[in-house]
Structure 1
Amino acid sequence: MSERAVSTGLFVNSKDMQVIGLCRFSYPALGGFQVEHETIDERISYLYAEDRLEERFRLMETVALPCLREQTDQEFELIIVIGDSLPKLHCDRLHELTADMPQVRIVSEPPRPQREVMKELLNEARKDPSRPCLQFRHDDDDAVSVDFIERLRQTVRDCPGLIRDNRTMAVDYNRGYVAEVGAHGISATETVRSLYVAALGMYVAGNCSLTIMNFAHEKIGRFMPVVSLSDTPMWVRTHNGYNDSRQKKVKPVPVEPLTTEQKAEFAIRFAVRDDHVKRAFSGE
C-alpha cells in the first residue's frame, strides 16, 4: 500500500464515506449573490420579504426536501444554513418542515463572506478529517433523483484510478429537467447541462481541507477531473421569480405541462408530485 493511498484514505470503501450536503436558505451572506445590494440591511430586506420567503418555503416543501426524504441511501447529512436574523416565525416553520428528517441540521450564522462560512461549516461537519468524504450542494428550489446518494457512492467506487491520483474529483450527473411550478402544477423540459449545482457531487480525500464550496460550480472542472454521466435524468432545476442567477437578462427556457406519464416519472424519480405542487401553490 503506497504512502499516498494511506494519507488520502483511498482504501476506505465509498459505502463507508461520510456524505455531507449543504443548503443555503435565504442566508444573507456578504457576497455570493448575483443580485447586488448596497448594504447588508438591504440584502436582508430583500431575502426576508414575505412574498419571497413564501415562495421559497413552498419550493422547499414540494421540490427540495421530498427527494432527500426518499433517498434510497439514507446515510447522509444536510446542513441548512440560515441567517441569525431570520424571524422566529420562519425559523420555526423551517424546523417543522424538516422535523421528520434526522439527516438535517439547521445552522444559524451572522452575515459573513459566503465561501468562508460555507467552507468552515463543511469542514467542521467532517467526523474524521483524515478519512475521505463526499460532498454536495443543494439549492432550496431544486430536486435530485431519489437515488442520487446511492449513485454518487457507486460512481466514486467506479473511479479508483482517479481517486488514487487526485485529492478531489467531481461527479456531474448532467441530464435533468428545467421546470416551472405553481398552482397550475408542473411544466418542464428535459435538457443536458454540465455542472449545474443540482446533482453535482465531489470526492474529497482524507487530510484535504478543500470543499465543494471552494469552487464556482460551473468552473470546477478547471481544478479537478470531472466524471460526467448522462444516462438518465438526475435533477430538476426550477425557474421561479427569485432565482438569483435569473434576475439579470437571460434567455428563457420554454417548458410544457407534464404529460400523465411524466407526472408519474417526476413522482417516482424525484418525489416531486404534481398534486402536491398544486395544493401548496394554490394555498390549500
Structure 2
Amino acid sequence: MRAQIIVVIRFSYVADAGFKISAQGVEAIRKTLYAPDRLARRFRLFEALTLPSLLAQTDADFTLAVLIGDDFPPQARARSARLIAPLRDAHLVALPPHNNYKATKLAIEACQRPEATHLVSVRLDDDDALGRDCIAAQKLIAPNVAALGAADAPAVICFNNGLFLELSEQGNRLYGVIEKLPLGIGMGMIAPVGARPTIFSTDHRRVHTRWNCYTEALTPRFIRTVHRDNDSDALSSGEKPKYTQSDLDRILAANFPFTRAELLALQP
C-alpha cells in the first residue's frame, strides 16, 4: 500500500449547494464569499492558524489542495498562491461552481500522484488548525483501520479531542472539547485510487453510519474557530474538560505551534 495524504481546503469556493443561502442562487453565494471584508477575515485566520499548523506538521510528506472558484478575485488568488508556496506539495485548484462532493473529488484527482495505490482524503477548513502530528497520525492509523474491514473498503479516521476558539469583540475564549460525534477537522478517509467515496461524500457527523470509523480521542489534534462567518452551527457535541489556564498552555505547547496569548489576541 502506497497511501498519499491529500488535505483539501475549500477557500471561499463558490459551490452551487451546501450554504445557508444556497436557495438564493450562485450569485448570492459569490457576493457573500467574495465580499472584501469577509475575504480579509478569512485570510487573516488562514495566515494565523491554518497555514502555520500545516507548516508545523512533523510529517511534511503530504499534498495540499486549495480549492477556489475559477473567478476568485485575482489579487486573492495570487495571495493564496504565495502563501502555500513554502509547502512541499501544494496546489491551487480553480473550478467553476459544482456541488461540494464533485468539486473536492476533482481537486483530489488533480493532485493525485501516479505511484499512489490509496488516497487518504483529509478535510480542513480555511479557518481551523491541525495538531502538529495530525498527518503522521493519519499515516500510521489509516492503513491499520483499513485492514480491519473488507478488502479495499473505505475507512474513516477522525480526531475528537481538541480546542474551540471563540472570537468576539468582547474578548476571545479558548476551551477544550471532546466531541461525541465525528468532527471534520483533520478527518480522513482511506480508499483505493479510483474509488468513488472521499471524505466529502457525506456529512462529517454521519460518516460512522456508512463506513468503519476510528475515533482517536486522547490526543488534542484540532483548533476550531467560532466566529461571525461560520456557515454551519459551531456547537460542541460532547464534553468540555475543565482545563485551567496552565492546562491550556501545556496542551498548546505539546500539540500546536501557538501560544494562548497569540490565540486570545486574534482579531474577530
**One-letter code aligned to 2:83:** L
Unaligned runs of 5+ in 1: 1-11
Unaligned runs of 5+ in 2: none
Could you tell me which residue of structure 2 aligns to residue 50 of structure 1? 36
Residues 275 and 93 (structure 1), Cα distance of their counterparts in 2 relative to 1, 3 Å cut: farther
8 Å Cα contact 1:166-1:224 kept in structure 2: no
The two structures, once aligned, show a CA RMSD in angstroms of 2.9
Could you tell me which residue of structure 1 aligns to residue 90 of structure 2? 104
Per-residue deviation, residues 127-175 of structure 1 (Å, max 9, x unmatched): 2487112110110111111100111111124436425545100011111
Could you tell me which residue of structure 1 aligns to residue 221 of structure 2? 234
Could you tell me which residue of structure 2 aligns to residue 170 of structure 1? 156
SS at match of 1:281: coil
Moved more, 111-120 or 237-246: 111-120
Per-residue deviation, residues 23-46 of structure 1 (Å, max 9, x unmatched): 000011100213335122211111
**One-letter code aligned to 2:76:** H
Q: Distance in 2 between matches of 1:240 and 1:277?
A: 13
Per-residue deviation, residues 5-53 of structure 1 (Å, max 9, x unmatched): xxxxxxx2xxx42111110000111002133351222111111112211
Moved more, 113-122 or 231-240: 113-122
Could you tell me which residue of structure 2 aligns to residue 28 of structure 1? 14
Aligned pairs for 1:124-135 within 5 A = 124-128=110-114, 131-135=117-121
SS at match of 2:108: helix
Q: 2:60 aligns with which of 68, 74, 80?
A: 74
Q: Distance in 2 between matches of 1:54 and 1:18?
A: 32
**Percent of counterpart pairs with the same letter?**
25
Per-residue deviation, residues 227-270 of structure 1 (Å, max 9, x unmatched): 111112111111011011039xx799999998255245325412
Residues 30 and 234 (structure 1), Cα distance of their counterparts in 2 relative to 1, 3 Å cut: same
Q: Distance in 2 between matches of 1:255 and 1:48?
A: 37
| Number of residue pairs matched by the alignment | 266
8 Å Cα contact 2:66-2:93 kept in structure 1: yes
8 Å Cα contact 2:67-2:95 kept in structure 1: yes
SS at match of 1:246: coil
* Residue 183 of structure 1: how far off its partner (Å): 8.0
Q: Distance in 1 between matches of 2:254 and 2:167?
A: 17
SS at match of 1:44: helix
The structure with the larger Rg is: 1
Instruction: With the length of structure 1 as denominator, give the TM-score of the two structures.
Output: 0.82
SS at match of 1:177: strand
Per-residue deviation, residues 67-119 of structure 1 (Å, max 9, x unmatched): 11010111100100111222112222222222222322111112222221211
Aligned pairs for 1:1-284 within 5 A = 12=1, 16-128=2-114, 131-159=117-145, 161-181=147-167, 187-193=173-179, 194-246=181-233, 259=245, 262-263=248-249, 265-274=251-260, 276-277=262-263, 281=267
SS at match of 2:22: coil
**One-letter code aligned to 1:102:** R
Q: Distance in 2 between matches of 1:270 and 1:35?
A: 34
* Residue 60 of structure 1: how far off its partner (Å): 0.3
* Residue 205 of structure 1: how far off its partner (Å): 2.3
Q: Distance in 1 between matches of 2:250 and 2:85?
A: 27
Moved more, 20-29 or 178-187: 178-187
**One-letter code aligned to 1:170:** V
Q: Distance in 1 between matches of 2:197 and 2:146?
A: 20
Instruction: With the length of structure 2 as denominator, give the TM-score of the two structures.
Output: 0.87
Q: Distance in 1 between matches of 2:47 and 2:172?
A: 14
